[in-house]
């Protein structure tokens, strides 16, 4: 199916062209998507870890379902026009399920997804003990995703975890096979130097994403450094969530210890700031202008 000019996938592709490298920032819910939009980002990202950790209090071990992720996507795209890239882990099943995953996320309003080459029951990309599927099996996953598209601009990104298991050359070789199978972009997980990114981007002739996650194996390279290495997308999947979690824990500790929130006021978002982001007063005025009449 041919995409409309303003389809989410088209918008995401345009953002990658316009802002090179594109800063792709992780959101964990609809409200943080609004905050990312206010900060000026052109695109946003929904992490599998973000859904598992924030919505369910679970570790990032492939424990959430497609339905649960789709529900989060629907909430996010309902409040922002920013294109949303979604972490689809290993696709939640076989060829038919992967095609269903693509259609479900596209219909929910996502701009694209990424699939990874780990076995089902995956691990965090910066943890030891990762096990890969074969190249042929990953090619089958990608082909299923491409065949499942209802919009030819919906982004199919292939993530490879091969660097940590098989080395740089093998990871680049895998990526080339994934592109030949139809992947639009490549997510190169856990590379450790700019030279490695340079090698990877020269070997793979599609946009390459660098996952700049904190406390992982990849150093916190700057946008300018990654630009020089040929990276087209720079991802910060859980940065805001980690800051928020630390702030929330400190808040609870202070409330428990001091019995008052007075010391916290200066660090809070105000009620007025919240209302401005939500458009509270506009909605309130509409309700006042057209009040519902109570039935007797």
60 counts as catalytic = yes
Kindly list the domain boundaries of the chain, sorted by start residue: 8-238, 245-289
Give residue 126's pLDDT: 67
124 counts as catalytic = yes
Q: Three-class SS string for the chain?
A: CCCCCCCHHHHHHHHHHHCCCEEEEEECCHHHHHHHHHHCCCEEEECHHHHHHHHHCCCCCCCCCHHHHHHHHHHHHCCCCCCEEEECCCCCCCHHHHHHHHHHHHHHCCCEEEEECECCCCCCCCCCCCCECCHHHHHHHHHHHHHCCCCCCCEEEEEECHHHHHCHHHHHHHHHHHHHCCCCEEEECCCCCHHHHHHHHHHCCCCEEEECCCCCCCCCCCHHHHHHCCCCEEEECCHHHHHHHHHHHHHHHHHHHHCCCHHHHHHCCCHHHHHHHHCHHHHHHHHHHCCCCCCC
45 counts as catalytic = yes
Domain 8-238 has CATH 3.20.20.60: yes
Tens digits of residue pLDDT in 188-218: 999 999 999 999 999 999 999 999 999 999 9
Q: Which of 87, 117, 151, 161 is catalytic?
A: 87
Q: Which of 60, 117, 161, 196 is catalytic?
A: 60
Tens digits of residue pLDDT in 217-261: 999 999 999 999 999 999 999 999 999 999 999 999 999 999 999
89 counts as catalytic = yes
Ligand-binding annotation for 242, yes or no, is yes
189 counts as catalytic = yes
The model's pTM is 0.94
152 counts as catalytic = no
Q: Is the pLDDT of residue 35 over 60?
A: yes
Q: Which of 13, 37, 42, 45 is catalytic?
A: 45
């Amino acid at each position: 199916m041919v995409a409309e000019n303003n389809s989410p996938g088209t918008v995401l592709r345009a953002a990658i062209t316009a802002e090179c490298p594109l800063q792709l920032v992780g959101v964990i819910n609809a409200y943080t998507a609004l905050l990312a939009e206010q900060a000026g980002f052109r695109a946003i990202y929904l992490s599998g870890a973000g859904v598992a950790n924030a919505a369910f209090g679970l570790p990032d071990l492939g424990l959430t379902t497609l339905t649960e992720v789709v529900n989060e996507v629907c909430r996010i795209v309902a409040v922002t026009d920013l294109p949303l890239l979604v972490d689809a882990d290993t696709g939640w099943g076989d060829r038919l399920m992967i095609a269903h995953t693509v259609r479900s996320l596209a219909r929910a309003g996502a701009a694209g997804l990424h699939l990874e080459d780990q076995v089902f029951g995956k691990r965090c990309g910066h943890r030891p003990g990762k096990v890969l599927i074969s190249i042929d099996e990953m090619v089958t996953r990608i082909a299923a995703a491409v065949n499942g598209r209802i919009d030819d601009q919906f982004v199919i990104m292939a993530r490879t975890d091969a660097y940590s298991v098989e080395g740089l050359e093998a990871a680049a070789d895998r990526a080339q096979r994934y592109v030949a199978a139809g992947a639009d972009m490549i997510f190169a997980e856990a590379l450790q130097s700019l030279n490695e990114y340079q090698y990877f981007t020269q070997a793979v002739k599609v946009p390459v994403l660098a996952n700049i996650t904190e406390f992982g194996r990849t150093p916190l390279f700057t946008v300018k450094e990654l630009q020089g290495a040929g990276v087209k997308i720079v991802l910060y999947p859980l940065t805001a969530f980690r800051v928020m979690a630390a702030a929330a824990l400190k808040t609870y500790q202070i409330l428990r210890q001091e019995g008052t929130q007075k010391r916290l006021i200066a660090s809070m978002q105000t009620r007025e700031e919240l209302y401005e982001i939500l458009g509270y007063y506009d909605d309130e005025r509409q309700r006042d202008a057209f009040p519902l009449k109570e039935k007797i």
